[in-house]
Structure 1
Amino acid sequence: MEINDLRSAIAMLKQVDHQLIETDIEVDPNAELAGVYRHVGAGGTVMRPTTIDGPAMLFHNIKGHTDASVLIGLLASRKRVAALLGCQKEELGKLLCKAALNPIEPVVSNKKAACQEVVHRATDPDFDLFQLIPAPTNTPVDAGPYITMGMCYATHPDTGCSDVTIHRLCIQSKDELSIFLQPGSRHIGVMAERATQLNQPLPISISIGVDPAIEVGSCFEPPTTPLGYNELSIAGAIRREPVVLTPCISINEHAIANAEYVIEGEIQPKIKVVEDQNTHTGYAMPEFPGYNGVASHECWLIKVKAVTHRKNPIMQTVIGPSEEHVNLAGIPTEASIYNMIEKALPGKVTNVYAHPSGGGKYMAILQCRKTVHTDEGKQRQAALLAFSAFPELKHVILVDEDVDIFDTRDVLWAMNTRFQADRDCIMIPGVRCHPLDPSSDPLYSASILDKGISCKTIFDCTVPFALKEKFIRAKFMDVDKEKWKDFV
């Protein structure tokens, strides 16, 4: 069935067994909701026990909020993401790569938008984000309620180019949000920095509860999507039709027309806020590596002007270290790496997998093809290209075509039988990586000069071309699958 918004995605899941569960039991969005879903399907780098590849979950009875539901785990299964995007789970990276190379730009419609069925303005006497937005906390020590699946959309003050990204958003007061913008790393951060130089606010819309193609497509990073590239065009390519935007009601910006919620506001120039100013716990929320993120003292401030939403809206949320975040970050990572390598070494890497243990960012497994003796060494060139394609990558594992990169046991089999550390482990110390890796800190090792610097490592678990005949896996008889259809 056609999917063009969150509700059509949910409707599709309802037709598939074990992909969505619903409950009317009252749940507290303050830590309880995430605590429940941890056992249902969080996976990822969440501390065990947790369930991997569990169903999405829709809560219809949210404590303190009437007429609203909360959805979690929509993208917490690679198989489910593939179904929602219309491909095989092994081909997701290639699908995203093709979409990024063939973008379809969004369009603006002035028709009445579904996301504006109900309107709340900040000038209303009872306007209160805490009451309007059923945003959960992941843990009891979070800095506050977080909007974790908000599609942040803004426009560069000079170029007029727009883009969408996902950022950490914490409700700080009845009409204020904090937004964490890692300096220079994402397009909206660059836009906010330029607006500050001009001493003007940056209008921003935050669309929550949208087509999953938009959510996955919004997680690309340079160099695949350089400044000026609108990542909504990737979702357009996936769906083969443009994403529809609508003018906001209180700011000079656009929002995703069929979103469940839209928050309209402005990033304030030269104002920074402490993320945990209301809780003083020292923590923000759990991040993708599996640890509690440290509260930032340099978050930007969004002054909210309005909130619009559908009737009976569905809030969408994600657990920071869950498999859902792995897929959001990891599938665009796969696409970026595959794109870079295919351009430089066509046909030498057949697939890429951003492994969940790295949160979709730290570790990639490359399936390599060697057909002639001059291919020897190109697998290591591919690894270097992977680091260039995705700077936050820390570890690359190289395997041959006969290894299933999506099966960790098979990958570790290759490491145990086709790897000798003294010749097949290549270390590149002193390279900028990702600041959320707690081991990338001078306190961890004197070899690390600054926080966020790591030793990037290649694990070459491929067979030397000259020895391929000595490493042929045991081959079994191909059986008649129709005859044994009840068993194989």
Structure 2
Amino acid sequence: MRNFIEKMREEGRVIDIEDPCSTIFEAPKLASETDDLLFFHKLDGDRKGVMNVTASRASLSCALGVPEHDIVPRLAATGQNGTIMEGERLNMGQPDLSSLPVMKHFPLDAGRYLTSAVVFSQYGGVENASIHRMQVLDEKRLAARLVEGRHTHSLLQDALADGERLPVAITIGTHPAVTFASCTRVPQGKEMQYAAELLGGDISLNTCSNGVRVPDAEIVLEGYIGSETTEEGPFVDITGTYDPIRQGPVIELTGMYMKPDAIYHGILPAGNEHKILMGMPYEPKIFQAVAGVTRVKNVVLTTGGCGYLHGIVQIKKSTQGDAKNAIMAAFAAHTSLKHVVVVDEDINPFRMEDVEYAIATRVRADRDVMVIVGVRGSSLDPCRIGDGTNVKMGIDATMVMGEEEKFIRAEWD
């Protein structure tokens, strides 16, 4: 992560906060006011931390070494074939979460939360890496939000069924490519091979004392998840509203590793970095799905749609029904997607005023709007139906084929 921070500094995209800053509300509020990377030199004393590491597509472009508007097509063509290299064995000390500048972000949050931490787990010869929010309970315990059916939860259920605990290692402060890979739905156990591809071909993994392997990180926590559960939340999630109190498993920490002068990474809940990491990993998946039905040019999950619920799909039509097929493919690829707009090549999907123009001039509601009732939606949507289903809408904002002359836009050469 340090190399990436220096690269961002060279591009003039780092703001140094030299004055003392509190981890309770103050640092999160500063992060909400900019998309630039914030480097805090005196968090709760003399501890260092960063926020907004990838709070914009430009930052992710810097991290991946890919032009900003080419990110999605490039990611859609990226495989999980990177090489894993054996690193060193980490020397763990005693865990002490109170020594880290863990933040409390909003007034009604249940407490301090780890928000950028990647949870690496291993059971039955299968490895996994994914981000989970984790509430600090005390110096050695965390309460995790593990979504039912996702891979970490499944590995935990396998371990508990065998009467065992799930060994985990938690990293804070990894290269953004590793963080991004951990947020991406790839085949089981392929997250680090994907990260290696994003980093240029290979990645070294260090081994913790409980056997779990992790990449280079500023901070590593190791421990186990057993059968104990506790209340977790409330906590602000992607929509900027409070997610309710849930029962979550407890992580018992047994070790802790820190680099000298470690840099803590915090992600602002519902901030743009959260939205980038939550939504952008789905864009290549939507791109691939739409490519199966028509010629797709780009895909964007919009910031105004929480980076997760609203999508813009840019296509080049071959037949009149292509846009509606693209809508259905997008919903199938990302089941939390709520509204999707399909536009032509001449509409910039990154410019919302351009998308609104397409809706205003190319949409006839009786013909071009699809409403789908009773389908699976996002559990984070405040207006979801009690049974977990939702109503989705797709808008075909493309020109009618054969009538393109009606839509020629006046411009100078």
Short-chain TM bin? over 0.9
SS at match of 2:202: coil
Q: Which residue in 1 is equivalent to 2:381?
A: 437
Given that residues 365 and 399 in structure 1 are in contact (C-alpha distance below 8 angstroms), is that contact kept between their aligned partners in structure 2?
Answer: yes
Given that residues 330 and 360 in structure 1 are in contact (C-alpha distance below 8 angstroms), is that contact kept between their aligned partners in structure 2?
Answer: yes
- Structure 1 outlier segments of 4+, above 4 Å: none
1:129 to 84, 94, 97: 97
Aligned counterparts of 1:92 and 1:253: Cα–Cα separation in 2 = 31
Kindly state the Cα deviation for residue 262 of structure 1 after the two structures are TM-superposed: 0.4
Kindly state the Cα deviation for residue 102 of structure 1 after the two structures are TM-superposed: 4.4
2:263 to 305, 314, 318: 314
- Residues 368-422 of structure 1, C-alpha deviations (whole Å, 9 max, x = no match): 1124xxx111221111111111111111101111000000000000000011112
Aligned counterparts of 1:365 and 1:106: Cα–Cα separation in 2 = 35
2:4 pairs with 1:12: no
1:31-50 equivalent positions in 2, closer than 5 A: 31-39=25-33, 41=34
Kindly state the Cα deviation for residue 95 of structure 1 after the two structures are TM-superposed: 2.3
More strand by share: 2
Q: Which residue in 1 is equivalent to 2:84?
A: 106
Residue type of the partner of 2:351? D
Kindly state the Cα deviation for residue 293 of structure 1 after the two structures are TM-superposed: 1.9
1:345 to 293, 297, 301: 293
1:273 to 230, 245, 260: 230
Query: Is the alpha carbon distance of 1:248 and 1:102 closer, same or farther for their aligned partners in structure 2, counting shifts above 3 Å?
Result: closer
Q: Which residue in 1 is equivalent to 2:342?
A: 398
- Residues 211-230 of structure 1, C-alpha deviations (whole Å, 9 max, x = no match): 11111121112xxx23x242
Given that residues 263 and 306 in structure 1 are in contact (C-alpha distance below 8 angstroms), is that contact kept between their aligned partners in structure 2?
Answer: yes
2:407 pairs with 1:471: yes
Q: How many residues align?
A: 413
Matched-pair identity in %: 27
Kindly state the Cα deviation for residue 199 of structure 1 after the two structures are TM-superposed: 2.1
Structure 2: unaligned runs, 5 residues or longer = none
SS at match of 1:121: coil
Mean CA deviation greater in 235-244 or 167-176: 235-244
Given that residues 176 and 304 in structure 1 are in contact (C-alpha distance below 8 angstroms), is that contact kept between their aligned partners in structure 2?
Answer: yes
Kindly state the Cα deviation for residue 98 of structure 1 after the two structures are TM-superposed: 2.0
- Residues 401-454 of structure 1, C-alpha deviations (whole Å, 9 max, x = no match): 100000000000000001111211101110111111010034xxxxxxx1x311
Structure 1: unaligned runs, 5 residues or longer = 1-5, 42-53, 123-127, 277-282, 443-449, 478-488
1:59 to 40, 58, 71: 40
Q: Which residue in 2 is equivalent to 1:22?
A: 16
SS at match of 1:357: coil
1:97 to 69, 72, 76: 76
2:40 pairs with 1:83: no
Given that residues 333 and 360 in structure 1 are in contact (C-alpha distance below 8 angstroms), is that contact kept between their aligned partners in structure 2?
Answer: no
2:313 pairs with 1:366: yes
SS at match of 2:42: coil
Q: Which residue in 2 is equivalent to 1:163?
A: 128
TM-score, normalised by the number of residues in structure 1: 0.82
SS at match of 1:165: strand
SS at match of 1:266: strand
Given that residues 173 and 263 in structure 2 are in contact (C-alpha distance below 8 angstroms), is that contact kept between their aligned partners in structure 1?
Answer: yes
Aligned counterparts of 2:243 and 2:199: Cα–Cα separation in 1 = 35
